[in-house]
Amino acid sequence: MPISALGAMDNPAARLDNNSMSAFRDADFLAIMMAELSNQDPFEPMETSKLVENMQKLQELANTRHESFRNDLRWAQELLGQTVTVNQAGLSEEEARNLRDRGLNPDVGFDFVSGRVESYRVVGEQAWIHVNGKDYKIDNVQRINPDRSSDHNLEIANNLLGFFVTFSEDMQGDRGGGLVTDVQWNEAGEVFLTVDNRFVDYNAITSIGLPSNLSSDGDGDDGSGDYTPPDDD
């Protein structure tokens, strides 16, 4: 079945034609019923009531699957632009190749990946979200990660003026420290501190402490590292 790419302004859940979907399911049921009638033992035919009961169960199952599909579409649309954590798909080479043949780019593995949902697609009756250039089943979403508010970060950073902070200088974990003397932010909303004449990303701050002249803990240290900022999440 062709893949339909759905954008942020599109609402496929609202556009689904219930009549056409119902007609499709009715056609399936008719085919199943004809197969049931053709394959039954002519000497011991199935009772009409039993046949009707079986068809009702199939109808209920189809309705449940269809409603689940519609809910997945609504959820996929709500996730657009949000940051999520998804788990990779443990697929064989053949399974991954089949998905690529259908226009998807699966992320094969057994790890977790975080990123922003850029778009989503529908293959058959399965919704897939697109994150960091890869496609993931909607069922693989493990967590929605709230984005940090730049305004919130700026408010917290302003309250750090005059405080002693430590910060991570590089990926190896080396740290620096000093007094916060200024707070700035750029056009992208990123917050930066001036710490002893050094420009430091707010997100690099690892601990906060009172300067020595304000410390009241009586232990004679400078108070640095006494407090670690909570996770903004």
pLDDT(31) > 80: no
Quickly state the pLDDT bin for 15 (edges 50, 70, 90).
very low
Quickly state the pLDDT bin for 128 (edges 50, 70, 90).
very high
pLDDT at 162: 87
Residues 106, 171: one domain? Answer: no
Residues 224, 155: one domain? Answer: yes
| Tally of domains in the chain | 2
188-213 mean pLDDT: 80
Residues 40, 116: one domain? Answer: yes
Residues 122, 173: one domain? Answer: no
3-state secondary structure of 172: coil
Quickly state the pLDDT bin for 114 (edges 50, 70, 90).
confident
Residues 154, 104: one domain? Answer: no
Q: What is the CATH number of the domain that holds 197?
A: 2.30.30
Task: Tell me, rounded to whole angstroms, the distance of Cα 89 from its chain centroid.
Answer: 15
- In the structure encoding, which two tokens stand for residue 217, read together? 């803990």
Domain that holds residue 112: 4-145
pLDDT at 118: 92
67-71 mean pLDDT: 72
pLDDT(45) > 90: no
Query: Is-contact 76 138, C-beta < 8 A?
Result: yes
Residues 140, 162: one domain? Answer: no
Task: Give me the count of residues in the chain.
Answer: 233
Report the distance separating Cα 131 and Cα 106, nearest Å: 10
pLDDT at 1: 42
Residues 53, 90: one domain? Answer: yes
pLDDT at 190: 75
Residues 31, 75: one domain? Answer: yes
Residues 77, 92: one domain? Answer: yes
- In the structure encoding, which two tokens stand for residue 56, read together? 């009702």
pLDDT at 66: 64
Q: Give the residue from 126, 145, 164 where a domain finishes.
A: 145
Residues 122, 204: one domain? Answer: no
pLDDT at 226: 46
Query: Is-contact 46 55, C-beta < 8 A?
Result: no
Q: Exposure string (b/e) for 181-196, b if CB count within 10 Å is 16 or more? A: eebeeeeeeebbbbbe
Residues 132, 155: one domain? Answer: no
208, amino acid identity: I
pLDDT at 90: 92
pLDDT at 132: 93
pLDDT(44) > 60: yes
Query: Is-contact 108 89, C-beta < 8 A?
Result: yes
Helices (H), the chain: 12-15, 18-39, 48-79, 93-101, 150-158
Report the distance separating Cα 117 and Cα 76, nearest Å: 9
Residues 205, 163: one domain? Answer: yes
- In the structure encoding, which two tokens stand for residue 148, read together? 């940090």
pLDDT digits (tens, 9 = 90+) for 79-111: 888 888 999 999 999 999 999 999 999 999 999
For strands 112-123 and 126-131, give the pairing.
antiparallel
pLDDT at 82: 87
